[in-house]
């Protein structure tokens, strides 16, 4: 049985193919979402380019997946799972949240205590996951996974009978909680612009742009609205003061959000930071307020949080690997060809 895997984000869609459920993922491609009116158009082009007719579709999307109709939160696509499966002539379709896939892609690194072998971030190892901070993990606890990209995703991995269950969540849409004067000023500024402010409005690509615009207004420099997140990150790496401040504000907020997630879910085995932004800016992470916010914003639990290792995952095709893991995961078997009609 052949498989088509797709990771459908807000900006990019990644495709991969395997001849069996356990074989290596090949034909990896990245397309821009904006270049295709529909997801079906993108899939048909990909399949045509490689002359493949996959029997099974395993997708992850930046949207809730509990219904047959899926409306993406960060791009213009919509789709109906049953219509797409039939249009492509496939037998099976599995559709999960994109961060459920991100979480599942991390599971090989944590099976049977293998997280003890994860190299440090400072090493030259080619591993897709590295340790940012050490600790004394509770091996019986869950693992919290969070990552800013076009939006902000979060999930929790719970090990049950030697199999990880990824809890689907929409953590990016919780309310932003400021913990400093500048974050409070940012919240007030964003409320005037957006109304209710979600964590994703601060910790994401668009969030970084929001912070930069806010700082520009504070400094009476109205050019801030013209700069995209990629440019802000590049300037920060070069030492540009305003860009670096914007990145530091975002990373500080990420530290708070990560600590909140760990404490809320009891994820004392570790926290994994992934997504498209932090791995690219990892050189700035250690000097940012991230770890200080993670540890010290919860005075009563600083010692507990200090024991929680933090990992940085940097695999551009982790979503595809998560989709492959998902189809074999016993906790997701009931989701295959499940259509809850609206």
What is the tally of structural domains in the chain? 2
Asked if 153 and 147 touch (Cβ cutoff 8 Å), the reply is yes
In a domain, 65, yes or no: yes
Q: How far apart (Å, rounded) are the C-alpha atoms in residues 255 and 303?
A: 15
Q: What is the pLDDT of residue 340?
A: 59
Is 83 in the same domain as 50? Answer: yes
Q: What is the pLDDT of residue 341?
A: 53
Mean pLDDT by 10 residues, the chain (342 residues): 91 94 93 95 96 94 86 86 91 91 93 81 84 93 94 93 89 93 97 96 96 91 80 96 97 97 96 92 94 89 95 93 93 83 52
Q: How far apart (Å, rounded) are the C-alpha atoms in residues 239 and 340?
A: 50
Q: What is the pLDDT of residue 10?
A: 80
Is 38 in the same domain as 65? Answer: yes
Structure tokens at 112: 């049977």
In a domain, 137, yes or no: yes
Q: How far apart (Å, rounded) are the C-alpha atoms in residues 14 and 24?
A: 15
Burial class (CB in 10 A: 0-12, 13-18, 19+), 174: middle
Closest of 94, 27, 11 to residue 58, by C-alpha: 94
Count other C-beta atoms under 10 Å from residue 138's C-beta: 15
Is 143 in the same domain as 199? Answer: yes
Is 310 in the same domain as 322? Answer: no
Q: What is the pLDDT of residue 224?
A: 65
Domain CATH for 28: 3.30.420.40
Is 32 in the same domain as 148? Answer: no
Is 278 in the same domain as 308? Answer: yes
Domain CATH for 299: 3.40.367.20
In a domain, 327, yes or no: yes
Is 284 in the same domain as 301? Answer: yes
Record the pTM.
Answer: 0.91
Q: What is the pLDDT of residue 233?
A: 96
Q: Which domain holds residue 223?
A: 129-314
Is 229 in the same domain as 324? Answer: no
Closest of 89, 329, 93, 152 to residue 79, by C-alpha: 93
């Amino acid at each position: 049985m052949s498989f088509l895997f797709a990771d459908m984000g807000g900006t990019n869609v990644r495709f991969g193919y395997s001849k069996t459920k356990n074989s290596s993922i090949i034909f990896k491609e990245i397309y821009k979402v904006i270049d295709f009116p529909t997801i079906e158009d993108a899939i048909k082009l990909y399949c045509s380019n490689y002359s493949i007719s996959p029997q099974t579709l395993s997708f992850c999307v930046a949207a809730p997946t509990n219904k047959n109709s899926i409306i993406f939160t960060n791009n213009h696509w919509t789709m109906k799972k049953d219509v797409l499966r039939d249009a492509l002539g496939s037998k099976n379709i599995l559709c999960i949240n994109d961060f459920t896939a991100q979480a599942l892609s991390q599971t090989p690194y944590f099976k049977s205590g293998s997280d003890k072998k994860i190299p440090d971030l400072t090493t030259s190892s080619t591993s897709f996951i590295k340790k940012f901070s050490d600790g004394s993990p509770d091996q019986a606890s869950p693992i919290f996974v969070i990552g800013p990209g076009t939006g902000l995703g979060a999930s929790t991995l719970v090990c049950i009978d030697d199999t990880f269950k990824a809890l689907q969540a929409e953590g990016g849409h919780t309310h932003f909680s400021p913990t400093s004067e500048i974050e409070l000023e940012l919240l007030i500024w964003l409320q005037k612009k957006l109304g209710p402010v979600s964590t994703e409005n601060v910790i994401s690509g668009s969030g970084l742009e929001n912070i930069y615009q806010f700082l520009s207004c504070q400094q009476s420099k109205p050019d801030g609205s013209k700069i995209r997140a990629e440019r802000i990150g590049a300037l920060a790496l070069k030492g540009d003061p305003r860009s670096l401040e914007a990145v530091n504000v975002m990373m500080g907020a990420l530290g708070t959000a990560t600590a909140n997630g760990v404490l809320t879910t009891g994820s004392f085995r570790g926290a994994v930071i992934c997504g498209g932004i932090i791995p690219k800016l990892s050189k700035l992470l250690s000097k940012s307020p991230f770890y200080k916010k993670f540890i010290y914003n919860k005075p009563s639990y600083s010692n507990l949080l200090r024991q929680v290792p933090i990992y940085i995952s940097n695999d551009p095709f982790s979503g595809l690997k998560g989709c492959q893991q998902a189809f074999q995961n016993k906790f997701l078997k009931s989701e295959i060809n499940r259509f809850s009609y609206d």
